[in-house]
Amino acid sequence: MSAIIEVNNLSKQFKEVKAVDGLSFTVEAGDVYGFLGQNGAGKSTTIRMLLTLIKPTTGDIHIFGKNLSTHRHEILKEVGAVIEKPDLYKFLTAYDNLAIFAKLSGMKPTRALLLDQLKLVGLEERAFSKVKTFSQGMKQRLGIAVALVHNPRLILLDEPTNGLDPQGIADMRKLILQLSREMGKTVLVSSHLLNEIELIANRMIIIHKGKKMVEGKVAELLDPSKSLVQLETGNDTLTREQLKQTEWGAMLQQNEQHLRISMNKRDVPRLVAYLVSLQVQVLSINPMHSLENYFLSLTTQPDHVESITN
């Protein structure tokens, strides 16, 4: 699989606040990549940096293998996005909004293509109604049409189910899965709800206060038999390198501050025995919460989180 998005050591400082702090992650082709974190975790700031709306303080972003800062124009031609609320030109019709954004994406859209796109999101009968008369759900669907009209390879959806009713949320999930499975799109979708990501994403990252907490396959991270185990050794960097060569290498979390492995608790004695055999000085070993409880603790008890993560 080829990497569609590669983010390395990305940071954004707003005066006193560090919104994103040394974030690194990779999104592979065909992924529905869940970007999970509580409100204010840095999800939207990261997505805005991926769209060049915000300039990173440090770090670099590669999309489709090209540096975003030097190949902005050609990269954005193949990116579609819904950024938070689907705000569009209220004084224009759905058709006019779609036509404007299609042209801005470098297309010369035909009337038939625009109407087809509106049909795809169920707005064909309201094509020539002004957006100011639309409900939140209809605006969200039009926002999706705007994001897809130029047939992008990568779609960034920032909290796409916000403000939708249950049926709208179900439709959105169906659409995201359809985009990935039937149309082969790569989708990055942010949310503050773990169950939402669990239902649609194959890979995910959890960020908290701008930092990566965990990243990996959803099925593995949310496996109820597994826990996050945090190790403290005499030389964490060396131990990490040694573990990368073993069966635990794939389970290692890419967190630069801590040595964490997503593994079955029953395998902990075997891991300790292995480390001892390598003459690694094991200072402490701490099975943490399951990922679900861990994320819950992030969203409900921020103070408690500090004691877990630091």
Partner 1 sequence: MWNLLQIELFKIMRKPRTYLAFGIIAAFIFLIQLGLLVNGKDWMMFVMGSLGETMNIDYNKLLNGYAVCFFVLNLLLVHVPILVALVAGDVVSGEASMGTLRLLAAKPVSRTQIILAKFLATAVYVFALLAWIAVISLVVSLAVFGENDVVVAKASGLQLIEASDVLWRYFFAFGFAFIAMMVVAAISLLLSTLSENSIGPIVATVGIIIVCTLISEMEIPMYQKYIKPYLFTTYMLGWKGFFYIGSTADGETIKGSIQYLPAILKSVGALMLYIVVLVAASVFVFRKKDILS
Rounded least distance, CB 78 to partner 1, Å = 9
As a residue count, the chain comes to: 310
d(CA 68, CA 278): 42
In angstroms, what is the minimal distance from the CB of 125 to partner 1? 21
The answer to whether residue 72 forms part of the interface with partner 1 (CB under 8 A) is yes
CA distances from 150 to 71, 78, 147, 168, 176 (A): 18, 8, 7, 23, 17
Residue 96 interacting with partner 1 (CB under 8 A): yes
Q: Which is nearer to partner 1, 106 or 287 (CB)?
A: 106
How many Cβ atoms are within 10 Å of 206's Cβ, its own excluded? Answer: 23
Nearer to partner 1, 51 or 176 (CB): 51
Within positions 108 to 147, which residues make up the interface with partner 1, using CB under 8 A?
146
Question: Which residue, 77 or 174, is less far from partner 1 as judged by CB?
Answer: 77
Query: Which helix (H) or strand (E) is 104 found in, with range?
Result: helix 94-104
Instruction: Provide the residue type at 68 as one letter.
Output: L
Residue of 9, 66, 69, 90 interacting with partner 1 (CB under 8 A): 90
Distance CA 268, CA 42 (A): 33
- Those residues with Cβ within 8 angstroms of residue 54's Cβ, 6 or more apart along the chain or in another chain: 12, 45, 48
Q: 39 or 195, CB closer to partner 1?
A: 39
91 touching partner 1, by CB under 8 A:
yes
Number of residues that bind partner 1 (CB under 8 A): 32
Pick the stretch among 28-36, 81-89, 217-225, 274-282 that binds partner 1 (CB under 8 A): 81-89
105 binds partner 1 (CB under 8 A): yes
Q: Which amino acid is at 284?
A: S
- 100 is an interface residue for partner 1 by CB under 8 A: yes
185's CB contacts (< 8 A; 6+ apart) are 152, 153, 154, 155, 179
23 is a contact residue toward partner 1 (CB under 8 A)? no
Q: Kindly tell me which of 96 and 124 has the beta carbon lying closer to partner 1.
A: 96
CB of 62 to partner 1, least distance (A): 17
Nearest to 136 by CA among 159, 113, 96, 165: 165
User: Binding string, 31-70, against partner 1, x = CB under 8 A?
Assistant: -----------------x--xxxxx---------------
Query: Is 124 within 8 Å of 115 (Cβ atoms)?
Result: yes
CB of 97 to partner 1, least distance (A): 9
The β-bridge relationship of strands 66-67 and 58-63 is antiparallel
Q: Which of 73, 125, 225, 279 is the binder for partner 1 (CB under 8 A)?
A: 73
Residue of 17, 65, 106, 181 that binds partner 1 (CB under 8 A): 106
Alpha carbons 227 and 207: distance in angstroms, whole number: 18
17-28 and 3-14 as β-strands: parallel, antiparallel, unpaired?
antiparallel
In the complex with partner 1, the residue whose CB is nearer, 143 or 216, is: 143
* Cβ proximity to partner 1, 73 vs 266, nearer residue: 73
CA distances (Å), 46 to each of 57, 138, 166, in order?
A: 12, 26, 27
**Which parts of 74-202 are beta strand (E)?**
79-82, 154-158, 186-191
Q: Which residues bind partner 1 (CB under 8 A)?
A: 14, 48, 51-55, 72-77, 79, 81, 83-85, 87-92, 96, 100-101, 103-106, 146
